[in-house]
Amino acid sequence: MAAASGRVSKKKPLPYFMQRSEDAVLPSFQNRRTLADHVKDNMLCAGRKSYFQRIVYVGRHPKVSAMTIRDRFLKVIKEMQEKTFNEVKLFGLMINFDEYSMHMIESAEETIGEYMRYLADSDLFECSRVVLVYNNINQRFFRKLVWRFADYLNGLPPAVIDAKDPNVVQNTINAFMVKVYTLCKMVRSEELDERSAFKSLYLDENYEEHTPDAVVLEYILGLNCLFNIQEYGQFYGVLPDVTTFRDKVWPIPDDMTPYDVFDSGKYQVNLTFGDV
């Protein structure tokens, strides 16, 4: 009848809240975002092509002048830069004492990984510990590699370490890191101060109360729960074998996507068989 009367029936458009995009109607296993999508988004937000990392490590070396030990570190850094194709340089704060070194370095993951490998192959340290590994930092403390020397470490009053405290390890590490970050902020302010054209290589007395003493450094160097430089150099960039019974599924996974990265939806294949 509608055709005979010359009128054509038209469907009324659905309200906006009832309209669904083409992606929305696809099952969740077809339109979910991959791990690579998240990595690209993070890189875009950070304005970088690679993740930046911050590492804090301490070490004890044969007792020589702080200037001498700096020259040895610079030799390792130069050798690394000559033999690698990574153009991102090292940044951070390198504090050297006559017998100890306390360094905070920042750079791209690949650069830090290469540096730690070269450092592991050197004979700079008698003993060392990696205290902090901070992945995907938002911003750097320093625009370049800054060196500072100090000769008053052994003259500081000994730290009070309560061995009976059940949290003595974590509390000592936390207190150490507070001092490291305080030193970084103070030296950064000094470096950014345009009123002072001369920047002393030596820490003055204002830094003394924020410098960890030998007792704290020796305590940290004795912690077996922390990687030393050699262990970290071997571990960095190596995917550990984490095979468990959960990997023995069918079909065999065809990628290296970690478990529990994506949320399960109604279209997700159930491999738990009754554990839901």
User: Is 157 a member of any domain?
Assistant: yes
DSSP 50: S
> For residue 147, what pLDDT band results from cuts at 50, 70 and 90?
very high
CATH number at residue 60: 3.30.70.100
Domains held by the chain: number: 1
Contact residues for 78 (Cβ-Cβ < 8 A; gap 6+): none
Is the pLDDT higher at 272 or at 107?
Answer: 107
With a cut of 70, say whether residue 232 has pLDDT above it: yes
Domain assignment present for 67: yes
Q: Is 116 contained in some domain?
A: yes
Q: Is residue 65 domain-resident?
A: yes
Question: Among residues 99, 200, 95, 184, which one has the least CA distance to residue 142?
Answer: 184
Domain span including residue 84: 46-235
Of the two residues 83 and 270, the one the predictor is more confident about is 83
Domain membership of residue 243 (yes or no) is no
Of 69-83, 87-101, 259-273, the least confident? 259-273
Residue pair 96/61 in contact by the 8 Å Cβ criterion: no
Side chain identity, residue 272: T
Asked if the structure places residue 266 within a domain, the reply is no
Neighbours of 225 (CB within 10 A): 8
Residue 159 lies in a domain: yes
Residue 130 lies in a domain: yes
Closest CA to 192 of 142, 261, 131: 142
